[in-house]
């Protein structure tokens, strides 16, 4: 197995500890590991525990990844312990005049008319250019609602381009994304950019449901003076009905499969078959056998035995 070369180049896997990882999550983790190891990058694990934390889930996730043969470099990073760096990034953007308070509720944002050509759900800029009196009225309203204003980025562009391993150049929309929510929790888009840069991550492998977020995050990195990573967005796993795979779809986690009489090697073999590779019984086998150039862009339909 090729050894990782210590240095600033790194890949990562960053699960949210909201429950056990299902087969699609495990497949993405393996591919992120393979891509990093094949290219001489270090490989890091980060627990994204700012939201939706299930007690004990993070430890179970780490145990499952290790059972499949994945290893990682350095200590596991917990996002909740990186608040000082997140706040420093917000401070840097504030000093540049790129942060403003937002007094909108989620319902108001959903019901507001979008700007021309903006994607669904894009923030329409309601609070971007309020007068001082309007801002004070917004603060009064937030106090009445017993919440703080959200902080938003004053984006400098409406589009940004990123490079994806399989999709090539992807140009996507950028809006005034949230930096810190009204409940005081730093937003995912900010935390992931700051944390990846701190770990030297220059290759982000993750599910392709996050592809539309990449231009926003790359633009944010640019504004913070951080390197913009390249991306490798992996097709999602679906159930037989064509919906995104979820734990409610049955025995779809590693522990479920073990309880059904399969081994960790059987699970890796199933993942290998989804990549057109037969007989791969370990992550090391996939590292040697998988050719990223042949990656299918079709989702993986998971059809498990009854």
User: pLDDT per residue over 278-302, tens digit each?
Assistant: 999 999 999 999 999 999 999 999 9
Q: How confident is the model at residue 1 (pLDDT cuts 50, 70, 90)?
A: very low
- The answer to whether the annotation marks 103 as part of a ligand binding site is no
Q: 12 — alpha (psi -120 to 50), left (phi > 0) or beta?
A: beta
Instruction: Specify whether 156 is located in the same domain as 127.
Output: yes
User: pLDDT per residue over 83-138, tens digit each?
Assistant: 999 999 999 999 999 999 999 988 888 877 765 556 666 888 999 999 999 999 99
- The answer to whether the annotation marks 247 as part of a ligand binding site is yes
**Residue 3: what pLDDT?**
38
User: pLDDT per residue over 48-60, tens digit each?
Assistant: 999 888 999 999 9
Task: Provide the token pair at 57.
Answer: 């889930």
Instruction: Specify whether 206 is located in the same domain as 182.
Output: no
- Average pLDDT on 8-29 reads 95
Instruction: Specify whether 164 is located in the same domain as 287.
Output: no
- The answer to whether the annotation marks 132 as part of a ligand binding site is no
Instruction: Specify whether 30 is located in the same domain as 159.
Output: no
Rounded Cα gap, residues 73 and 63, in angstroms: 15
Number of structural domains (the chain) is 2
For the question of whether the overall pTM of this predicted structure is more than 0.85, the answer is: yes
Q: Which residue has the higher pLDDT, 107 or 161?
A: 161
* Last residue within a domain, chosen from 168, 190, 212: 190
User: pLDDT per residue over 182-200, tens digit each?
Assistant: 999 999 999 999 999 999 9
162 has a pLDDT exceeding 60: yes
Question: Is 5 inside any structural domain?
Answer: no
What is the DSSP code string of the chain?
Answer: -PPP--SS-EEEE----SS--BHHHHHHHHHHHHHHHHTT-EEEEEE--SS-PPTTHHHHHHHHHHHTT---SSPPEEGGG-HHHHHHHHHHHHHTT-EEEE---HHHHHHSPPPTTPPTT----TTTT--HHHHHHHHHHHHHHT-PPEEEE--S-SEEEEEETTTEEEEEE----EEE-TTSPBPHHHHHHHHHHHTTB-EEEEEGGGGGGHHHHHHHHHHTTPPPPEEEEEPPEE-TTSSBP-GGGSS-BHHHHHHTT--HHHHHHHHHHHTT--S--SHHHHHHH--GGG---S-EE-----
State the CATH number of the domain containing residue 70: 3.40.50.620
- Average pLDDT on 220-229 reads 97
252 has a pLDDT exceeding 50: yes
Question: Is 224 inside any structural domain?
Answer: yes
Which residues form the domain of 66? 10-81+196-301
Percent of the chain with pLDDT over 90: 85
- Average pLDDT on 15-22 reads 95
**Residue 250: what pLDDT?**
86
Rounded Cα gap, residues 134 and 145, in angstroms: 17
Instruction: Specify whether 34 is located in the same domain as 171.
Output: no
Instruction: Specify whether 203 is located in the same domain as 281.
Output: yes
**Residue 142: what pLDDT?**
92
- Average pLDDT on 65-83 reads 97
**Residue 110: what pLDDT?**
80
* Last residue within a domain, chosen from 141, 163, 190: 190
Instruction: Specify whether 72 is located in the same domain as 202.
Output: yes
* Count of all residues that appear for the chain in the document: 306
Q: How confident is the model at residue 5 (pLDDT cuts 50, 70, 90)?
A: very low
Question: Is 29 inside any structural domain?
Answer: yes
**Phi, psi dihedrals of residue 32, rounded to the nearest 5°:** -60, -40
Instruction: Specify whether 240 is located in the same domain as 154.
Output: no
- The answer to whether the annotation marks 231 as part of a ligand binding site is no
Instruction: Specify whether 23 is located in the same domain as 153.
Output: no
**Residue 115: what pLDDT?**
57
Distances (CA, A) of 276 to 117, 164, 168, 260, 294: 39, 21, 22, 24, 9
- The answer to whether the annotation marks 280 as part of a ligand binding site is no
Instruction: Specify whether 113 is located in the same domain as 170.
Output: yes
Question: Is 3 inside any structural domain?
Answer: no
State the CATH number of the domain containing residue 163: 3.90.800.10
């Amino acid at each position: 197995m090729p050894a990782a070369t210590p240095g600033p180049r790194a890949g990562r896997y960053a699960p949210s500890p909201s429950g056990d990882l299902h087969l699609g999550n495990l497949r993405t983790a393996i591919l992120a590991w393979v891509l990093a190891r094949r290219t001489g990058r270090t490989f890091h694990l980060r627990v994204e525990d700012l939201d939706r934390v299930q007690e004990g889930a993070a430890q179970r996730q780490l145990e499952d990844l290790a059972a499949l043969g994945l290893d990682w470099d350095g200590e596991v990073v917990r996002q909740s312990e990186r608040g000082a760096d997140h706040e420093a990034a917000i401070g840097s953007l504030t000093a540049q005049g790129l942060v403003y308070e937002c007094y909108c509720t989620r319902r108001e944002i959903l019901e507001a008319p979008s700007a021309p050509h903006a994607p669904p759900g894009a923030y329409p800029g309601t609070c971007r250019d309020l007068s001082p009196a309007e801002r004070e009225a917004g603060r009064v309203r937030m106090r009445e609602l017993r919440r703080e204003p959200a902080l938003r980025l004053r984006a400098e562009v409406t589009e940004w381009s990123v490079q994806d391993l399989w999709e090539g150049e992807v140009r996507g929309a950028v809006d005034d994304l949230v930096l810190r929510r009204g409940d005081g929790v730093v937003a995912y888009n900010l935390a992931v950019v700051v944390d990846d840069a701190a770990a030297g991550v220059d290759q982000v492998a993750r599910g392709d449901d996050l592809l539309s977020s990449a231009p926003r995050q790359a633009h944010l990195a640019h504004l913070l003076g951080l390197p913009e990573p390249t991306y490798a967005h992996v097709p999602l796993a679906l159930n037989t009905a064509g919906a995104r795979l979820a734990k409610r779809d049955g025995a779809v986690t590693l522990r479920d499969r073990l309880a059904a009489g399969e081994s960790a090697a059987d699970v890796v073999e199933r993942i290998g078959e989804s990549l057109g590779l037969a007989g791969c019984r370990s992550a090391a086998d996939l590292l040697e056998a998988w050719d990223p150039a042949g990656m299918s862009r079709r989702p993986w339909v998971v059809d498990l035995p009854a």
